[in-house]
Amino acid sequence: DMFAHPSTQQNLDRLRSFGNRIIEPAEGELASHLVGKGRMEEPDKIVAVLDDFFASQIQLEKKKIVITAGPTYEKIDPVRFIGNYSSGKMGFALAEACAGQGAEVTLIAGPVSLKTVHPNIKRIDVESAEEMYHAAMEAFPEADAGILCAAVADYRPDVQATEKIKRETKGEMTLLLVPNKDIAASLGAIKREGQILVGFALETNDETAHAEGKLKRKNLDFIVLNSLRDAGAGFRCDTNKITIIDKEGEATAYPLKSKQGVAVDIINKLATLLK
């Protein structure tokens, strides 16, 4: 009676509409059951179904994955820096999802206010692109894959003032910027046979062409394109909308999802290449 009750049925319909799988005995099976629909399944059967489910989710067992996340801060003087809006959410979601799927993760994080949860995440906190470069170059040779999600500053001030720069009364001031190393391209250049390198492309225009250019230039295996033209995508929000473009030029577009859901889509693609 409880199972047949409209409120139970309504809840089940709602779960189905979210795409959840509901395990029910087939109609024919019912007759052979002493008690029918709504009866709790035998605990050992529940455990077996859960074991199967989680086994299919462990795609990165013992794989070593290096992930960069967050922004970099390029110091101007002791109180100012050049930075960007990256919150680290996308990179941290990837780190948790990789660890959850059995990987040993090295997470190289720029300045963010996020915490890591999974015990298999080794976190290295850095501030500048130069520090991120050194940490990544050290960790990548031992890794099976690298996922470069950080929003790395392409330029830094030529000189970092040791004292706070005072306001000039005369008017304008000019900062000379010099290029930072490209971490993705540097890892692409030392990538071994069998290692997989995944990059991101954050674009505002001519998205596909720019992403494809970065994929080739940085010797990546695939690139995750997100565009600031899509609502709910990119910096700071809890969601993202991506297109994965691989070396063969195949592009797969995904709907807007939570950053956790996006991380799973990226891992599913990565797992096919790591096997």
Q: Provide the 8-state DSSP code for 199.
A: E
Instruction: Report whether 148 contacts 98 (CB < 8 A).
Output: no
Catalytic residue among 84, 180, 226, 268: 84
- The contact set with ligand PMT (CB under 6 A) reads 68, 70, 86-91, 129, 148-152, 154, 180, 182-184, 199-202, 214, 226, 234-236
Chain residue whose CB lies nearest ligand PMT: 183
For ligand PMT, the closer of residues 100 and 234 by Cβ is 234
For ligand PMT, the closer of residues 143 and 183 by Cβ is 183
Q: What minimum distance in Å lies between the beta carbon of 55 and ligand PMT?
A: 30
Sign of the dihedral through C-alpha 153, 157, 160, 163: negative
For ligand PMT, the closer of residues 36 and 179 by Cβ is 179
For ligand PMT, the closer of residues 98 and 202 by Cβ is 202
Q: What minimum distance in Å lies between the beta carbon of 173 and ligand PMT?
A: 25
Q: 3-class DSSP state for residue 60?
A: coil
Which runs of E-coded beta strand occur in 113-152? 121-125, 145-148
Quickly count: other Cβ atoms within 10 Å of residue 82's Cβ: 16
- Residue 20 a catalytic site member: no
Q: How far is CA 63 from CA 57, 91, 131, 184, in A?
A: 14, 17, 24, 20
Q: What minimum distance in Å lies between the beta carbon of 37 and ligand PMT?
A: 43
Give how far the C-alpha of residue 152 lies from the chain's centroid of Cα atoms, to the nearest Å: 15
* Rounded Cα distance, 56 and 162, in Å: 54
Burial of 212 (0-12, 13-18, 19+ CB in 10 A): middle
Q: What minimum distance in Å lies between the beta carbon of 49 and ligand PMT?
A: 34
Which residues are known to be catalytic?
A: 84
